[in-house]
Copies of this chain bind each other. A is one copy, B any other.
Amino acid sequence: MASGQRDPAEFDASRLIVTLVKELQPVPPADEANFGQNMTDHMVFASYDPVEGWSAPEIKPYGPLTLYPASSCFQYATSAFEGMKAYIGPDGDPRLFRPAKNMTRFLRSASRLSLPLFDPDELLKVMKTLLKVERRWIPDQRGHSLYMRPMIVGTRHTIGIVASDRALLWVMCAPIGQYPSIGARPLSLLAVGDAVRAWPGGTGEYKISGNYGPTIGPMQVAHRQGYDQCLWLLGDKVTEAGVMNIFVVLKRDDDSVDLLTPALDGTILPGITRESVLELAAAHPSRTTLPGLSASLHIYPDERDITMGELQTWLAEECLLEVFVVGTAVVVQPVGRIGYKGGDLTLPAPEGGLGPVGKALHQRITDIQYGVFEWDGWSVRCS
């Protein structure tokens, strides 16, 4: 490198510039917040160019962006994102749930699209500062939270299909109301085999924007047929439901249970709630007793293929105890019905909601998220 030239700058939280809005918006009551339609006052923003590298990250008023029409993200969908939630703990401080896992996945998604990379720890530092700035937007009520959406998009302007050496990165926030939770109506899913969400060698395991647009049409079809979400099939294999991972609880002969979820074969998003469910199930009862479950109940988590044929068989043999979906937005939610080949599989829905295993996992995960149960540092305080 010639003298006088510098390496492109890294993403550096210590360079953060904070510019607050002149007039704060009123925060809607937690119960009135629609999912993700109103953004908060501020956002994190940074840009990358190949000479200067990352700009100093900013916290600044949420507002429109300016991009050239030939930007890579418009033409070739070089964009990736994350979804996280912030909660208020008993100490009044904002908390994030295993945020380092989101940051690692975010970096991996950006890398899959050959976008400029960044230090995920530095980004997380800036996001924690954003949460302190937006503290008044985080509902101080169990079941409510502030949704955070980090994004990176390529902005190189050329018709050529090449790696984008320019990017914008931002984090926006939106308050979200209470999701249907324990006792809420179980979801209905329409099994979809003609539109395939993800395939081996494809990009289903990355949280990249291109995975989502094509799901809107099939979801509209499911809604018109009276279902809440699509259950994405690959051949006869169950993969995901909507944008959630799916779990099945089976009774064993000895009254212990299997907890099955599709294996991470490249078609499954490695969900952080998914991973947490598997880890908590494995910890019961040896390390902890999950709420409402007997310490004599053994749960055997198993990541494996699940086919529609197997679901039908287990249902007929009455060993299918619970089916639930998990994700950042819903945490754990029961499935009551699956439309398949013109008919419906009616699933067990104990007390019209989650079964004992789903209920225990929902309770424990939200206890950890809201900081009322301490577990392996999963709930990270932003203080």
Binding site for B on A (CB under 8 A): 35-37, 39, 43, 62-70, 72-79, 81, 83, 112-114, 147, 149, 151, 153-154, 157-163, 170, 172, 174, 176, 193-196, 199-203, 208-217, 219-220, 243
Contacts and interface: CB of A to CB of B under 8 A. Distances in A.
Given A69-B62, A174-B159, A220-B163, A213 B210 contact: yes
A148 to B, nearest CB: 10
Contact of A212 (B77, B83, B213): B77
A213 B76 contact: yes
A112 B210 contact: no
Contact of A194 (B70, B154, B201): B201
B159 A147 contact: yes
Contacts of A219: 161
Contacts of A217: 112-114
Given A201-B195, A243-B161, A212 B70 contact: no
A78 B39 CA distance: 20
A69 B172 contact: yes
A35 B76 CA distance: 16
Given A196-B201, A217-B113, A209 B161 contact: no
Contacts of A196: 199-202
B209 A211 contact: no
Q: Among A67, A76, A219, find the residue whose CB has the most chain B CB atoms closer than 10 A.
A: A76
Given A214-B208, A215-B161, A75 B193 contact: no
A217 to B, nearest CB: 5
Contacts of A203: 214
A74 B160 contact: no
A203 to B, nearest CB: 5
B209 A74 contact: yes
Shortest 5 CB-CB distances between A and B: which pairs? A36-B159, A210-B210, A196-B201, A77-B209, A199-B199
Contacts of A35: 158-160
For this chain, the copies found in one complex come to 2
A343 to B, nearest CB: 21
A72 B213 CA distance: 8
Nearest to A159: B36
B210 A78 contact: no
Q: Among A161, A174, A220, find the residue whose CB has the most chain B CB atoms closer than 10 A.
A: A161
Given A75-B81, A196-B199, 15 more contacts: A36-B160, A37-B158, A66-B66, A70-B149, A72-B213, A73-B73, A74-B79, A76-B209, A77-B77, A78-B216, A113-B214, A113-B216, A149-B159, A196-B202, A210-B213
A157 B37 CA distance: 7
Given A69-B43, A74-B73, A153-B74, A213 B79 contact: yes
Contacts of A147: 159
A113 to B, nearest CB: 5
B77 A210 contact: yes
Q: Among A36, A77, A212, find the residue whose CB has the most chain B CB atoms closer than 10 A.
A: A77
A210 to B, nearest CB: 3
20 contacts: A35-B158, A36-B158, A36-B159, A36-B160, A37-B159, A39-B69, A39-B70, A39-B157, A43-B69, A64-B67, A64-B68, A65-B68, A67-B67, A69-B151, A76-B212, A76-B213, A77-B211, A149-B159, A193-B201, A199-B199
Nearest to A173: B159
A47 to B, nearest CB: 13
